[in-house]
Structure 1
């Protein structure tokens, strides 16, 4: 046994025996001092600094005219948002810091509410135009959502044709048997769900990820409107990405508690969450009532686009902005439901504490 590994209590005992021996012999040998026993110092643990999120908000009063988006202004707003978020001097360099020309970029939209209350095609077109100007191949850009019908009705097929990019839907692409989210909640399977189509199962505990996501893209950009949701307070990035990417979602919708658990866990799937490189909140309008219905009399014109790599921070800020707009309109307050976003922080998708979100304005 090496000296470094001796028992300290043995050393103390040996010193005491030597002292006793010297005293008993009556010699002049001085009594050796006994080492003072000190309790070990407690370990010092440095508390980690709270996670921070950064959001760039670009505002231009000319972004809309009578609710109609202005394409040239939106393109400038997109370029300014990208350069300010990434710290790069040009939009081209900003895009290269997010994606490579070898990536297939999937731009996730929320098309079900339509072209006025959902993700606005003009905002997506400004993003696509900027990306293509940076040299990204049009064949490697796909605009997508869950259903092709809603994409068509919202005007995204026309947009794709103008820009020479693709448009695709998660349901039509089918679902990947190897990638899924599973929990104990049984769901009523419907037409389009994988297990219903393969085995005519009526109930299932798995939500399979679309093949459009698993094999049809390598990077994801999420673009969602500033639109209320009756159960989760905002129809934001987490809801759009989670419910738009997997099947068997009826088991969650209609129950805020189930959504608060399932949505963050689905977004945390590596095949999904790890591919998200940019989130843009289309805040040209803030519709604070109506959910999937277009109710522009319950909307405020903001003329803003919000940019972040943190979808949770954007969604939380959206919840509070919708709350603020209701108050400004002297409308009944709606108690915000933040459970979903707090759970998202627990699984480390992003930051839900507004005190830890840094907002930078570009006007």
Structure 2
């Protein structure tokens, strides 16, 4: 299970584990340079999306849950992705670039609402280790979603006490009901400006009032037939707003809107897509008929570029399984690009693909 309480000794241990990887960073960095395949030459105006593939990621079991993942492999994948994204030579340097002020609070948005496919704790663990290595206190890190429906399968345990926080939005101040487009108060600090929000926070927030300064988005690779076509990074923030069901009819407009809000746009430091498994045809509940092994993680600072890349991955999976393209088409991605939130044009996306254990010529190392 995911460790949710980190005292001084555990903090030092976690930090030490993260720093152990620094010894291998030079080798990893060299492997990254040798094993990179880029779709086109880098350009200052291009948005970088890093994709790391390792077939061993889901080799620990025969199922499609967190228990079936290899933690060491996942850690290496996330570390390689972060290094390639930032261009840093050392892992701690990369995380200090992502989290420049260690005195700030960091929120990690996961997707654990559906029990068929969800963000896995073993993917989040190396993110937490990286944040700790940047000097952030464990007490200043929060993992959240609207519900905890899949926390047990995902490997998370709720904790609203000291140490690393894990829980629902309602555990940490709830949602603004009047202002901020009803965003979670942990993103906005909205309880400061509304007596109603303050009262709700005091009465309902088991973990106390909590305002994040930085935000990391860890969505899943999922089709969403009948709604917005796909559910990736930008759609993941439907768990950051109250009553998302009210915005299914206008979902193509509302997804870009909420991602354009400064409380999300300006605070987001990293989007890391958990694509170890992918659901290429949407099913509700504990249904994994259309979930398959992909064994990838993707990392980017551009929420539009990573969604555009994820959409193409889903369409490829559907084609391989003889299924027509998603319906409706996820036009919210182009709408978000039109708002200036990022790049959706493949010519403006630098896709860097890392293959574990291979050099630049594709040979086994």
TM-score normalised to structure 2 length: 0.71
Partner of 1:103: 104
Unmatched tracts of structure 1, length 5 or more: 1-48, 182-207
Count of residues in correspondence between the two structures = 282
CA distance in 2, matches of 1:122, 1:339: 32
Partner of 1:282: 274
CA distance in 1, matches of 2:270, 2:349: 16
Could you say what secondary structure the match of 2:278 adopts?
strand
- Structure 1 residue 156: Cα displacement: 1.9
**Distance 1:245-1:124 versus aligned 2 partners, 3 A rule:** same
CA distance in 2, matches of 1:80, 1:305: 10
CA distance in 2, matches of 1:239, 1:132: 27
Q: Give per-residue Cα distances to partners, 1:45-68, cap 9 Å, x unaligned.
A: xxxx99521101111111111341
CA distance in 2, matches of 1:90, 1:50: 22
Could you say what secondary structure the match of 1:237 adopts?
coil
Q: 2:234 aligns with which of 234, 238, 247?
A: 238
**Distance 1:89-1:233 versus aligned 2 partners, 3 A rule:** same
Q: Which moves more between the two structures, 289-298 or 316-325? A: 289-298
CA distance in 2, matches of 1:103, 1:292: 37
Could you say what secondary structure the match of 2:88 adopts?
coil
Q: Give per-residue Cα distances to partners, 1:196-246, cap 9 Å, x unaligned.
A: xxxxxxxxxxxx2221111321100000111111221221111111x1222
- Structure 1 residue 293: Cα displacement: 3.5
- Structure 1 residue 291: Cα displacement: 4.1
Partner of 1:322: 314
TM-score normalised to structure 1 length: 0.72
Partner of 2:53: 59
Partner of 1:77: 77
Partner of 1:214: 188
CA distance in 2, matches of 1:122, 1:233: 27
- Alpha carbons 1:75, 1:126 under 8 Å: kept: yes
Q: CA-atom RMSD, angstroms?
A: 2.3
CA distance in 2, matches of 1:291, 1:74: 26
Higher RCO (CA < 8 A, seq sep 6+): 2
Partner of 1:205: none
CA distance in 2, matches of 1:166, 1:146: 14
1:277-356 alignment to 2 at 5 Å?
277-335=269-327, 337-356=329-348
Check if 1:226 corresponds to 2:221: yes
Q: Give per-residue Cα distances to partners, 1:1-38, cap 9 Å, x unaligned.
A: xxxxxxxxxxxxxxxxxxxxxxxxxxxxxxxxxxxxxx
Q: Which consecutive aligned stretches of 4+ in structure 1 deviate over 6 angstroms post-superposition?
A: none
- Alpha carbons 2:233, 2:307 under 8 Å: kept: yes
- Alpha carbons 1:143, 1:156 under 8 Å: kept: no
Greater C-alpha radius of gyration: 1
Partner of 1:29: none
- Alpha carbons 2:57, 2:69 under 8 Å: kept: yes
Check if 1:252 corresponds to 2:251: no
More strand as a share of residues:
1
- Alpha carbons 1:316, 1:338 under 8 Å: kept: no
Partner of 2:166: 167
- Alpha carbons 1:227, 1:291 under 8 Å: kept: no
CA distance in 1, matches of 2:105, 2:51: 26
Q: Give per-residue Cα distances to partners, 1:118-151, cap 9 Å, x unaligned.
A: 1112111221123224432111110011124554
